[in-house]
Chain A
Amino acid sequence: MSESAGQLNPADEFEHALRPISIGGHQLSFHLGPFDMSINTVVIYLFMAAFIIAVLFISLARVAKVLPDRKQVAFEALYEFLRDGLVGSVMPASAVRTWFPYIATLFTFILFNNIIGLLPIPLSLLDESWAKHLPEFKTYAATSNLNVTVALALMTFFLTHIAGMKTNGVLRYYKNWVPGTAPGVMKPFLFVLHAISEVFRVVSLSVRLWANMLAGHIMILVFYSLIFMLSLATAYLAVLLEGGVIAISLFEIFVAGIQAFIFAILSAVYIGGAIHQEH
């Protein structure tokens, strides 16, 4: 938590994450043309999630044998769940092989970002040693940042239309946005309507994940703040609130999985729908 318990404000925690972090006194603030490429807490969490996934999956894939051990069976169960249960169930069979890596990476990336967002990690150690200050154990989920979820949703958005145009041809793809049976006058109107729905898919995808993760973290932080505010009144209440934090954290683990799954399966549905259009 922050330095002075009495002034803890949950909203500060989220703003703080956007400031470029410092390592050994050097602030990692970079700009590449118009883009802010600063390394802030969000980016560190993204890196951590990616690193953990890469190390875990590669090490599991390396030792994979034809006759699997228990660890490998569990890993393969996850793999086959993603391939057949998630991608295979909503995409045409011909597209599964092409799109499985994207959807699977999306799912695991969001899942691990959500999960490590629940772990208290002392990022302040990057800047200051134990000697100067006690490390600050903070929880933060990269997916509770709208920039991250919008980036992921935009990626799905563009891939959806690229896949649709590649499979069906540019003209036919856009023609199929409007039902062929619709009356001629209605066609432009329906086209615009469909275009709006496509744009709002980005909004719904990104906001759903962002809002869920943000709400969960705000809940946890609010309960923690209440502990600091009310522990002066009674210690029993503080224990009760700590129980509340544990309960919400458990629920958040569930939400982390569910939201990752929803994001991934909706991406699969959108891309699958663009490849195999309804006529």
Chain B
Amino acid sequence: MIWTLITFVVLLLVLKKFAFGPIQNMIDNRRNAIAESIEAAENTRREAERLLAEYRESIANAKREAEEIIERAHKVGESTKNDIVNEARDLAQKEVDDARKQIQRETRKAIRELKDEVADLAILAAGKVTSKSINKEDHLRLVDEALSEVDFDKLASEGD
């Protein structure tokens, strides 16, 4: 009985000091090492996720910016085009109007000249035919009467 106790106690102390202690330490060390590895892996993963999110965001930003730039360019192009077209249209309209006024002016001038010419001619012709039977004043009056029957406005419009 005494030997049992002695043997047991000695074995207990020896195992505690030289076997269980080191083994427990080693297991604890391993547990710590594994925990650290997991922690490190977790950190790396989080970092990677953060970077990925960052990159995604910057790519999305870039895309949005590109779209904005294109949009803006479209708008600028559109308005420039409209400006040019409008300007061209105005210019053309102005040209046409000018041309029309010029023509009207020229027409009226031509009619007036023609009128004078016709009057002179008529006077000349009438003078030759009637040989001074009527004086110049009467003559002009007659011519004016005759000319008034002629529709010059219609002529003018035809001359346009």
Is A61 an interface residue when CB atoms closer than 8 A count as contact? yes
Question: A155 and B5 in contact (CB under 8 A), knowing A64-B23, A66-B30, A76-B27?
Answer: yes
A39–B2 Cα gap in the complex (Å)? 11
B12 neighbours in A (Cβ, 8 Å)? 101-102, 105
Task: Tell me whether B22 and A64 are in contact (CB under 8 A).
Answer: yes
Is B14 an interface residue when CB atoms closer than 8 A count as contact? yes
A32–B3 Cα gap in the complex (Å)? 12
Question: A37 and B19 in contact (CB under 8 A), knowing A53-B11, A66-B29, A105-B11?
Answer: no
Which chain B residues in 10-67 approach chain A with CB under 8 Å? 10-12, 14-16, 18-20, 22-23, 26-27, 29-30, 33
Task: Tell me whether A58 and B3 are in contact (CB under 8 A).
Answer: no
B4 neighbours in A (Cβ, 8 Å)? 46, 142, 147-148, 151-152
Partner of A46, one of B3, B15, B20, B30: B3
Is B157 an interface residue when CB atoms closer than 8 A count as contact? no
Task: Tell me whether A147 and B1 are in contact (CB under 8 A).
Answer: yes
Which chain A residues in 17-44 approach chain B with CB under 8 Å? 32, 35-37, 39, 42-43
Task: Tell me whether B22 and A46 are in contact (CB under 8 A).
Answer: no
- The tally of residues in A whose CB lies under 8 Å from a CB in B reads 39
- Is the interface on chain B under 10, 10 to 19, 20 to 34, or 35 or more residues? 20 to 34
Is A189 an interface residue when CB atoms closer than 8 A count as contact? no
Task: Tell me whether B7 and A50 are in contact (CB under 8 A).
Answer: yes
Task: Tell me whether B15 and A101 are in contact (CB under 8 A).
Answer: yes
A147–B6 Cα gap in the complex (Å)? 13
Is A119 an interface residue when CB atoms closer than 8 A count as contact? no
B30 neighbours in A (Cβ, 8 Å)? 66
Minimal beta-carbon separation of B1 from chain A (angstroms): 4
B18 neighbours in A (Cβ, 8 Å)? 54, 57-58, 61
Task: Tell me whether B15 and A57 are in contact (CB under 8 A).
Answer: yes
A29–B30 Cα gap in the complex (Å)? 49
Minimal beta-carbon separation of A203 from chain B (angstroms): 15
Interface string of A146-175 (1 = CB under 8 A from B): 011011100100000000000000000000
Minimal beta-carbon separation of B93 from chain A (angstroms): 93
Minimal beta-carbon separation of B149 from chain A (angstroms): 130
Minimal beta-carbon separation of B154 from chain A (angstroms): 119
B1 neighbours in A (Cβ, 8 Å)? 147-148, 150-151
Minimal beta-carbon separation of B35 from chain A (angstroms): 13
List the interface of chain B (C-beta within 8 A of A).
Answer: 1-5, 7-8, 10-12, 14-16, 18-20, 22-23, 26-27, 29-30, 33
Q: Can you spell out 25 A-B residue pairs with CB atoms less than 8 angstroms apart?
A: A32-B2, A36-B2, A37-B2, A42-B3, A46-B4, A47-B7, A53-B15, A57-B15, A57-B19, A58-B18, A61-B26, A64-B23, A75-B23, A101-B12, A102-B12, A104-B15, A105-B12, A108-B15, A109-B11, A142-B4, A147-B4, A148-B1, A148-B4, A150-B1, A151-B2
Given A80-B27, A148-B1, 9 extra CB contacts under 8 A = A32-B2, A46-B7, A58-B19, A79-B23, A101-B20, A105-B11, A142-B4, A147-B4, A151-B4
Which A-B residue pairs are the 3 nearest by beta carbons?
A: A57-B19, A151-B4, A101-B16
